[in-house]
Structure 1
Amino acid sequence: MAKIMQLPEFKRQKVYTLGQRLQEQQPFIQVVLGPRQVGKTTAVLQVKESWGRASIYESADSPAPPGTDWIEQAWQAAEFKTAAEGPVLLILDEIQKVQGWAECIKALWEQRNSLNQIRLVLCGSSSLQIQGGLTESLAGRFELIRMSHWSFVEMEKCFQWDLDTYLYYGGYPGAARLRDDWTRWADYVQQSLVETAIGKDILLMHRVQKPALLRRLYALSCDYAGQIISYQKLLGQLQDAGNTTTLAHYQHLLEGAYLVQGLQKWHGTKIRTRSSSPKWQPRNTALVTSQSGLAPADWRAEAKMWGRLVEIAVGAYLVNQGEEEGVEVYYWREKNREVDFVLKKGNRLAAIEVKSGQFSKAHSGVGAFQKHWPDSKIWIIGRGGLPLVDFMKAGLETLL
C-alpha cells in the first residue's frame, strides 16, 4: 500500500473533502467505497491523523467475519470517549463483512447519536454489499466518496511511470515496487489482489453455487477484454455453465468487486440497452496482462495485442473516471459498424474511436453514429486524433 505522503493529488482531494465533511455540526455518515488496494485505508488514516481529537479505527478484515456486536463494541468505546473529549471520529473498515451491518448502524445512528458526537466513516471494497445496505437501510443518512483504480496521471506522479509502463502494469500502487520482476508482479496481482477480491468480496459474501464457474467466467472476461460476447457463446465455452441467467448474475458479482464491467449497447433508450450482449471491460489493464503469462516486451512486439491493450486502457479509464464524474459508458454497433465507446451525461453524448497507431480497424462507425445522433461529439483517440497521453490526462467533462 502506498504511504500517506504518496497519495496523488486527486485522492488527496478526497481526503480533504472527507475531513471537511466531518467537521460539520450535523454530519452525515461518510462512506468511502472502492476496489481493494487503491488507498482507502491510507486515506481514512490520514483523516484520522489530521482530525486533532479522539478517534477510533477498527477493521473487520479478519478470517472470520465479526457480528454486529463488533460494531456495538466500537460504538460504545466511541461513546465513552465523547463524555470527556467531545466529538469522536469512528472509522469502521471493511464494513461489508459484517452481516446485518446496515440495520445495526441505522439503529445506533438514530437512537444514540442525537448530539452528533460520533462522526462515523465506513469503508468498503464490495459495492454490491455496501450500496445495498445504504439504499435499503441508510437512505438519506450518508454521503459517498469513491476511490477508483489509479489513473495514469496518478501512477506517473507517484512512481514516474511513462505511458507504456502504465498500459502493461496498470494502476495498482501496491504492486508498483515489483515492476522490475514481471513474473513476481503478475503472481502478486493474481494471488494477492484478484483472488482476494474473488474470495473475500464475492465468495465469502454471496451465495455462489459454482465457484469454479465464476472464476472461469472472470478469466474469460479478461481473455475477451474489449470484445462483445453473448452469454450464449460463453455457454459453449464453459463446462457446467447452467444458463444465461447464472452467467449474468456472476457478471454482476464481478462488477461489484470492481474487477470487470459489462458495457451495454447504446440504443438511445434504457429498455433496449439493458437487453444487449455485454462488451467485457476490465477495470484495470493489470488484470489482463498479469493473467496472460506474457512479458511486457511480448505485448509490445505484437501490434494487434498492443492495440487491444490500448483500447482496454481507454475503456478502463472511461469506466473508472465515469464513475467519478457521473458519466455513463456504453458501446454501439449497427450491422458491421461499431463505435468503441459512447459517453452520456444528461442530454450530452460523445462517441469515441480508439486508434492505437499499430494497426487499422475496419468498419469504423463514428460517421454512422453521428447520423443517428447529430448533436453528439466525435473523438478519435490516437493516430490522427487526440494523442493517447493527452486523453489519459483529460477529464471526461472535456469530451462531452
Structure 2
Amino acid sequence: MILRQAETVVRQKLTQTPAVVLLGPRQVGKTTLARQIASNWHGGAIYLDLERPADRLRLEDADGYLRAQQGKLVIMDEIHRAPGVFEVLRGIIDDNRQAGMRSGQFLLLGSAALDLMRQSSETLAGRVAYLDITPLTITEAETASINDADLWLRGGFPDSLLATDDVLSLNWRRDFIRSYLERDVPMFAPRLPAETIGRLWTMIAHQQGGLLNQARIASALGVANPTIDRYIDLLVDLQLVRRLRPWGGNIGKRLVKSPKVYVRDSGILHGLLEIETLNDLLGHPVCGLSFEGHCIENLIQAAGSRRVPYFYRTQVGAEIDLIFEKGGRPEIGIEIKRSSAPSPERGFALACDDLKIEQRYVVYPGIERFPLRNGAQAIGLQELSTLLLQ
C-alpha cells in the first residue's frame, strides 16, 4: 500500500478535534486511508458506507445508533448522503465534551467540498477540522518507487496510476469522467446540465493554464455569462478544476485580473484529451501546459496551508507562473519550463524584481540543481516539493 502523507495529519487532527471532515474527489483514496486508520485505532472503529442502503438504515435512528458506539471512532463515508446527521453529531459531541471526551470521535468522508463545508459549518462550528486529500503527489509516488513520467501521464488517482498498462489506465480515466458526469453532477447539482458541464470540462482541458475568458466560453456553450461561474464553481467544488487567482497587490502596475484555470489532475486532463501514451503526450500541443499544471498542483500540495498560491502577470508581459505568498508578502517565484536546458524569460526576472522576490526557481524535468541568470536556480520538481514541505 502507498503511504499517504495525509494519514499522519488525519491522525493528529483526530487527537485534537471531535470530528474531522476528509474531503477529496471520488476514487482518490479516502476510503483506503480511513480503513487504514481504523485498523489500529485504540478503542476500535466502525465504518459506514452511506451509499449502501443497509448502512443508511442504521442511521434512521442516528442519535441512538451513534451514541451506542461510544468510545469508538465512527467513520461515515459519502456523508453527503445523510445531511441530517450533522445536527445529531453536534448534540453527541457536546454531551461527550461534558463527559470529558474532546477528540477522536468521528471521521467524515465526502467529495463535494463547499457543499459539505456549508452543511457542517452551520452545525459543527468549533467542533470540526477540515482536511483535503488529493491524488498522489510526486513525493508520495517517489516513496512508492513510481517514476514522475508515469505520474505525469496517468495522474495521481491510484487505480489509474497503478494500472498494468497505459490502455487500462486511460480506460479507467474515461470511466471516471463518465461516472462524474452521469452520477456526481446530477447528485450535487441536479439543476445543472451534465452534458454541458462535460463540454466545459473538455474546453478547460484544451485551454489548460489559460486565462479564464467567460464570455468566449459562454458563447461556445450557448449559455449566459454568469452561468459559467456556477458551472466552474461546481468543478472547483468537486476538486477537479483549479482556479488560480492572480496576485493583486498595489505596486503601480497594470495587472491581469482574470484567473487561470487548470484541470487539477494531469491524468484526467489527458483522459479528456484522449492522450494514451507518453509519446502521444510529448507530441501533443498541450504538452508544455500539461507539465506546468502537473508541477503547479504538486507544488501547491507541498506548500500546504502555510503559503497562498497565485500567478502574476502584467499587461506588458512580466509574468511568474506560480507565486507563494507568506505573511502577506510574495516569498517565492517559480517559472516552469519543460526543457532540459531551461532559461528563464526576461519577464520572469522583471516580475520578481517588481515584487522584490529573492527566492527564484525554474522548475524543469531534470534532477540537477544549478544557478541561472538574475538570481534564479534551475531545480527539479521533486527537490522543490521537498523544500516546500519543510
TM-score computed with the length of structure 1 as normaliser? 0.82
| 1:230 partner letter | N
Looking at structure 2, the residues matched to 65 and 215 of structure 1 have their Cα atoms a distance apart, in angstroms, of 32
Cα shift readout 1:108-140 (whole Å, capped 9, x = no counterpart)? 433577436681221112101211123222111
1:147 CA displacement: 1.6
Residue 396 (1) aligns with residue 388 (2): yes
Give the alignment partner of residue 133 of structure 1, picking from 119, 128, 153.
Answer: 119
Match of residue 158 from structure 2? 173
Q: Is the CA contact (8 Å cut-off) linking 2:256 and 2:313 kept in structure 1?
A: no
Looking at structure 1, the residues matched to 255 and 48 of structure 2 have their Cα atoms a distance apart, in angstroms, of 39
Q: What pairs with 1:287-306 in structure 2 (closer than 5 Å)?
A: 287-302=268-283, 305-306=286-287
Looking at structure 2, the residues matched to 62 and 130 of structure 1 have their Cα atoms a distance apart, in angstroms, of 19
Cα shift readout 1:172-215 (whole Å, capped 9, x = no counterpart)? 112233241x2332121131x33334444432022433322212
Looking at structure 2, the residues matched to 81 and 301 of structure 1 have their Cα atoms a distance apart, in angstroms, of 54
Match of residue 46 from structure 2? 56
1:163 CA displacement: 1.8
| Structure 1 residues 104 and 222, CA gap change in structure 2 (3 angstroms) | farther
Q: Is the CA contact (8 Å cut-off) linking 2:298 and 2:385 kept in structure 1?
A: no
1:19 CA displacement: 5.6
For structure 1, which runs of at least 5 residues remain unmatched after alignment? 1-5, 22-26
Give the alignment partner of residue 147 of structure 2, picking from 162, 182, 186.
Answer: 162
Looking at structure 2, the residues matched to 274 and 53 of structure 1 have their Cα atoms a distance apart, in angstroms, of 55
Match of residue 369 from structure 2? none
1:386 CA displacement: 2.8
| 2:167 partner letter | T
Match of residue 231 from structure 1? 214
Match of residue 217 from structure 1? 200
Q: Is the CA contact (8 Å cut-off) linking 1:90 and 1:120 kept in structure 2?
A: yes
Q: Is the CA contact (8 Å cut-off) linking 1:197 and 1:257 kept in structure 2?
A: no
Residue 73 (1) aligns with residue 33 (2): no
Q: Indicate the RMSD between aligned Cα atoms, in angstroms.
A: 3.2
Residue 148 (1) aligns with residue 129 (2): no
Give the alignment partner of residue 13 of structure 1, picking from 8, 28, 32.
Answer: 8
| 1:29 partner letter | A
Give the alignment partner of residue 368 of structure 1, picking from 350, 355, 372.
Answer: 350
Aligned residue for 1:178, secondary structure, equals: coil
Q: What pairs with 1:277-296 in structure 2 (closer than 5 Å)?
A: 277-296=258-277
1:357 CA displacement: 0.6
| 1:41 partner letter | T
Looking at structure 1, the residues matched to 62 and 53 of structure 2 have their Cα atoms a distance apart, in angstroms, of 19
Match of residue 293 from structure 2? 312
Looking at structure 2, the residues matched to 274 and 257 of structure 1 have their Cα atoms a distance apart, in angstroms, of 29
Percent sequence identity is 20
Cα shift readout 1:279-328 (whole Å, capped 9, x = no counterpart)? 11122100111222233243354285432221121122134344x33422
TM-score computed with the length of structure 2 as normaliser? 0.84
Looking at structure 2, the residues matched to 136 and 320 of structure 1 have their Cα atoms a distance apart, in angstroms, of 27
